[in-house]
Structure 1
Amino acid sequence: MQTVDLQEDINAVAACGPIKVWSVVVTILGDLLQSEEAWLSGPVLDALVSRLGINNQALRVAVHRLRRDGWITSEKRGRLSAHQLTAKGWAETEAVRGQIYGTADTAEAVWLAVGGPNLTAAEFLELLPTHAVALSARSALGTGTVRPSEEVLLSKFTPERVPEWAVTALVPHELATEYDALSEAVGRVLAHSTPEGTLERTALRLVILHHWRRLRLRHGAVQDAVLPSDWPGARAQRLVMQALTRLEWPEVAELERQVALG
């Protein structure tokens, strides 16, 4: 394997898509804080986001927004601050952990819903769960529970093949392109040997995880249940999970020690 500057890999992955600072903070706290009682110091958070090209002013704005929205709480410890997920932030993080880390059951039953002629397209969509995918004005694929209605015909979906027009509805071009870009960047990371350096390794882990999380939460389980194993999201998942295994979860105490030493 070729050894490269870790910051080069961090920059390459960071360029895969837009980075919203508040969302990065949620990714970091959700990954590093392994219990509802755990805290992360402000200096460690600052050190990690700075390696993603985020300055302290942008971080302060993001932390203020997350406190305002009830996602995190902060406290002063001497001259320094520390941050923790609130009960709401922890619950929201736990609710999607299986999707993000690949431990969720993807063998859910998929249904095809067809709306009756008396329903408008908007009324039909209101009856569907969040991650159902509309195929036309009054037809959709999904998993989970549909609100009861005499105007909706539900049928178990077990096709021999998914036609290309349905694939396009399930995976719009923009989503497929972003998954492919992430796969390419993570593939380059995996082709490199990873030098020591806890903060840099952690920043690389987190930027990979952030872009994966950002994309994975844009859809539900229906794509994995219906599409072949080589669809762009599945390819990205295999590479991301390999990278997270190599860039193993760090001990927060070690990050704190390294930052304290400067």
Structure 2
Amino acid sequence: MEPTELQQIIARVASVGPIKVWSVVVSVLGDLMQSADDTLGASQLDALVAPMGINNQALRVAVHRLRNDGWVETQRQGRRSRYQLTARGWAETERVRPEIYGATQPNRKSVFLVVGPPQLAAPDFAAQLPKDSAVLTSRSGFVVGRDGVPKNWMCVPHEAAAMPDWVEAAVVPETLAQEYDALRAVVKPLLSLPVPADVLERTALRLAILHHWRRLRLRHGALPDLVLGEDWAGARCRTVVLEALGRLARPELSTLE
């Protein structure tokens, strides 16, 4: 049987980047479960990820891994299984929701320009930078917040200004910008198409888009948005993705049964 046009669209969105099945499951459960008590049937999960090219065997392996990792638990209802986020899975899901779905960015005043002492080797400078940071030159960089910055480094607030190209390249790796652009390019044409009527297919399309957005967004912190504002690939992609997610509204779990 030939795939429908919508199935082809879902497959095209899914193929815009790498698919790790366990990560897709996390995206699906994190999006659809709006309460710590919510559950999703195994057959419904299977139907939602199949359009992304994920078969049942790969799905079972992924769920088994997430269960062993303490992220997902399985409930039995007769011969049927239902999946629920564990307390850990729910807490981690809640922690990243503002980053995944948020349209606003933190205050620019939280960005600092740091400079290490001249005797500090460049690799040591990079190794001592806090998590949400970027190396600009051998001993200078941007950080979000002062936490973790050594006391003998210069640390001054960054003032909002137009950034030269080399700074943007330091803050946003070229591969990340290219992946954001690729996702935006495949999602933007969908905004002019009718919203699919079938709830399972509509939700599968939503989740294919969301998964790749989540995969990219969680690869970095707030720094690119704080330094570059709306003028970078991730911000341009966010605008398109959030509009698409708004059109492909999250369904009530009961409608997927």
Q: TM-score per shorter chain, which class?
A: over 0.9
Q: What is the aligned partner in structure 2 of residue 150 from structure 1?
A: 151
Q: What is the aligned partner in structure 1 of residue 171 from structure 2?
A: 170
1:183 partnered with 2:221: no
Report how many aligned residue pairs link the two structures: 253
Instruction: Provide the C-alpha distance between the structure 2 equivalents of 1:148 and 1:131, rounded to a whole number of angstroms.
Output: 11
Aligned-residue offset at 1:104: 5.6
User: Any idea what the Cα deviations from partners look like across 1:93-122, whole Å, max 9, x if unmatched?
Assistant: 111100100156422421111112343444
Instruction: Provide the C-alpha distance between the structure 2 equivalents of 1:26 and 1:51, rounded to a whole number of angstroms.
Output: 16
Q: What is the aligned partner in structure 1 of residue 8 from structure 2?
A: 8
Please list, as runs of the form range in 1=range in 2, the aligned pairs for 1:22-101 lying within 5 A after superposition. 22-101=22-101
Assess, with a 3 A threshold, how the Cα gap between structure 1 residues 148 and 18 changes in structure 2: closer, same or farther.
closer
Instruction: Provide the C-alpha distance between the structure 1 equivalents of 2:69 and 2:188, rounded to a whole number of angstroms.
Output: 36
Normalised to the residue count of structure 2, the TM-score between the two structures is: 0.93
Q: What is the aligned partner in structure 2 of residue 18 from structure 1?
A: 18
Q: What is the aligned partner in structure 2 of residue 199 from structure 1?
A: 200
Aligned-residue offset at 1:148: 4.8
* 8 A Cα contact 2:7 2:51, kept in partner: yes
Please list, as runs of the form range in 1=range in 2, the aligned pairs for 1:95-244 lying within 5 A after superposition. 95-103=95-103, 105-108=105-108, 109-244=110-245
User: Any idea what the Cα deviations from partners look like across 1:201-259, whole Å, max 9, x if unmatched?
Assistant: 00000010000001111111111111142311111000001001100010111101xxx
Instruction: Provide the C-alpha distance between the structure 2 equivalents of 1:97 and 1:14, rounded to a whole number of angstroms.
Output: 21
Find the residue that maps to 2:13 and give its secondary structure: helix
Letter matched to residue 144 of structure 1: G
Instruction: Provide the C-alpha distance between the structure 2 equivalents of 1:69 and 1:104, rounded to a whole number of angstroms.
Output: 32
Q: What is the aligned partner in structure 2 of residue 259 from structure 1?
A: none
Aligned-residue offset at 1:71: 1.0
Instruction: Provide the C-alpha distance between the structure 2 equivalents of 1:146 and 1:210, rounded to a whole number of angstroms.
Output: 31
Find the residue that maps to 1:51 and give its secondary structure: helix
Letter matched to residue 32 of structure 1: L
Instruction: Provide the C-alpha distance between the structure 1 equivalents of 2:152 and 2:124, rounded to a whole number of angstroms.
Output: 10
Instruction: Provide the C-alpha distance between the structure 1 equivalents of 2:164 and 2:231, rounded to a whole number of angstroms.
Output: 15
User: Any idea what the Cα deviations from partners look like across 1:15-48, whole Å, max 9, x if unmatched?
Assistant: 1100110000000000001111111111111111
Deviates more, 1:99-108 or 1:208-217: 99-108
Normalised to the residue count of structure 1, the TM-score between the two structures is: 0.91
How many percent of aligned residue pairs carry the same amino acid?
52
* 8 A Cα contact 2:129 2:149, kept in partner: no
* 8 A Cα contact 1:128 1:146, kept in partner: no
Letter matched to residue 178 of structure 2: T
Instruction: Provide the C-alpha distance between the structure 1 equivalents of 2:65 and 2:58, rounded to a whole number of angstroms.
Output: 11
* 8 A Cα contact 2:70 2:86, kept in partner: yes
Letter matched to residue 202 of structure 2: R
Aligned-residue offset at 1:145: 3.7
Instruction: Provide the C-alpha distance between the structure 2 equivalents of 1:152 and 1:233, rounded to a whole number of angstroms.
Output: 30
Assess, with a 3 A threshold, how the Cα gap between structure 1 residues 62 and 104 changes in structure 2: closer, same or farther.
farther
Instruction: Provide the C-alpha distance between the structure 1 equivalents of 2:50 and 2:111, rounded to a whole number of angstroms.
Output: 42
Find the residue that maps to 1:76 and give its secondary structure: strand
Instruction: Provide the C-alpha distance between the structure 1 equivalents of 2:183 and 2:213, rounded to a whole number of angstroms.
Output: 8
Instruction: Provide the C-alpha distance between the structure 1 equivalents of 2:28 and 2:227, rounded to a whole number of angstroms.
Output: 31
